[in-house]
Amino acid sequence: MTMDELKRQAAARALEQVRDGMTVGLGTGSTAKHFVELLGERVKAGLQVTGVPTSEVTRADALRCGIALTTLDEVDRLDLTVDGADEIDHALNLIKGGGGALLREKIVAAASDRMIVIADESKWVDALGRFPLPVEVMPFGLAATRRAMATAFAESGVSGQMVLRKDSGGHVFVTDGGHWIVDAHLGRIEDVPHLAALLSAVPGVVEHGLFVGLASAAVLAGAQGIRIVERH
Ligand code: 5RP
């Protein structure tokens, strides 16, 4: 089975949690895209749901699939968000933002009663950090922000190269919110909540890709089948 087929399987399993009348956060990335497509098929078959997209790309995908959309200004809480991840540890802490949508993804996840993470098994790790940590930053004062980030990393016992993300054309990658992303190559992060708190306190950091205490469950698809891990 290909990686893409595994991603679709994970998405299909998460879809079983969607009920008529729900408001559902729609994640971003190749795995979340499968979920949006499968949800669209259910909508065409009569399911009534309203979606809140986590990026402009997902908004376009959802509309193409016939899913009715709303915003966080129009609803208080979401019943469920389904999204992918770049890494998932055993406490269901996540690294997200490989697709550049971490800010809206975190806002939507935090406004949801439940967040189900869908992924192929390769995303399941003993410790976060092999995947470069995306940090969304203000373009203004970038050098000062990077210095403060380095201090936060040192205080948390990690270090590594910080790379300003570029798009495929070699231009600085700009997020949906008009910010930039610095990818921090840290290696193993021992204390994820500590680093998350330190980064959140850096002026100029808009948001970081550490998702702590947000995921309720992970649906992991591998060669041996599907495994569901619940957060306790
Ligand atoms: C986007 C994300 C994605 O969920 C993450 O990058 C995983 O993507 P994919 O499903 O394509 O592997 O955080 O900002």
Distance CA 139, CA 211 (A): 23
To test the pocket of ligand 1, the residue of 6, 31, 108 to mutate (highest count of ligand atoms within 8 Å of its CB) is 31
10 lines ligand 1 (CB under 6 A): no
29 alpha carbon to ligand 1 midpoint, in Å?
A: 4
Q: What is the mean pLDDT of the chain?
A: 98
Mean predicted confidence (pLDDT) in 178-201: 98
207 lines ligand 1 (CB under 6 A): no
Report the DSSP pairing between strands 23-26 and 80-83.
parallel
DSSP string, the chain: --HHHHHHHHHHHHHTT--TT-EEEE--SHHHHHHHHHHHHHHHTT---EEEESSHHHHHHHHHTT-EE--TTT-S-BSEEEE--SEE-TT--EE--TTS-HHHHHHHHHTBS-EEEEEEGGGB-SSS-SSPEEEEE-STTHHHHHHHHHHHHHHTT----EEE-B-TTSSBP--TTS-EEEEE-----S-HHHHHHHHHTSTTEEEESEE-S--SEEEEEETTEEEEEE--
Q: pLDDT tens, 41-74? A: 999 999 999 999 999 999 999 999 999 999 999 9
Q: What are the sequence ranges of the domains in the chain? A: 3-125+212-230, 133-206
Mean predicted confidence (pLDDT) in 165-194: 98
In the predicted model, is pLDDT for residue 227 greater than 90?
A: yes
In the predicted model, is pLDDT for residue 232 greater than 90?
A: no
Whose Cα sits closest to atom 5 in ligand 1? 85
184 alpha carbon to ligand 1 midpoint, in Å?
A: 16
96 alpha carbon to ligand 1 midpoint, in Å?
A: 6
Please tell us whether the domain made up of 3-125+212-230 is placed in CATH 3.30.420.40.
no
65 lines ligand 1 (CB under 6 A): no
98 lines ligand 1 (CB under 6 A): yes
226 alpha carbon to ligand 1 midpoint, in Å?
A: 19
Q: Which amino acid is at 180?
A: W
Report the DSSP pairing between strands 217-222 and 115-120.
parallel
In the predicted model, is pLDDT for residue 169 greater than 90?
A: yes
Mean predicted confidence (pLDDT) in 13-25: 98
Q: pLDDT tens, 106-146? A: 999 999 999 999 999 999 999 999 999 999 999 999 999 99
Mean predicted confidence (pLDDT) in 140-165: 98
- Active-site residues, by number, are 105
Mean predicted confidence (pLDDT) in 18-36: 98
Q: What's the pLDDT band for 181 if we cut at 50, 70, 90?
A: very high
Q: What percent of the chain has pLDDT over 90?
A: 99
Report pLDDT for 46: 98
85 alpha carbon to ligand 1 midpoint, in Å?
A: 5
The ligand 1 atom at the shortest distance from the C-alpha of residue 28 is 1
Mean predicted confidence (pLDDT) in 4-8: 98
Whose Cα sits closest to atom 6 in ligand 1? 98
25 lines ligand 1 (CB under 6 A): no
Distance CA 34, CA 36 (A): 5
The ligand 1 atom at the shortest distance from the C-alpha of residue 30 is 11
Distance CA 80, CA 112 (A): 5
Give the max Cα distance, the chain. 53
What order of strands is seen across the sheet that includes strand 133-137? 162-164, 180-184, 133-137, 205-208
Report pLDDT for 206: 98
In the predicted model, is pLDDT for residue 23 greater than 90?
A: yes
133-206 has which fold? Alpha-Beta Plaits (3.30.70)
Mean predicted confidence (pLDDT) in 177-198: 98
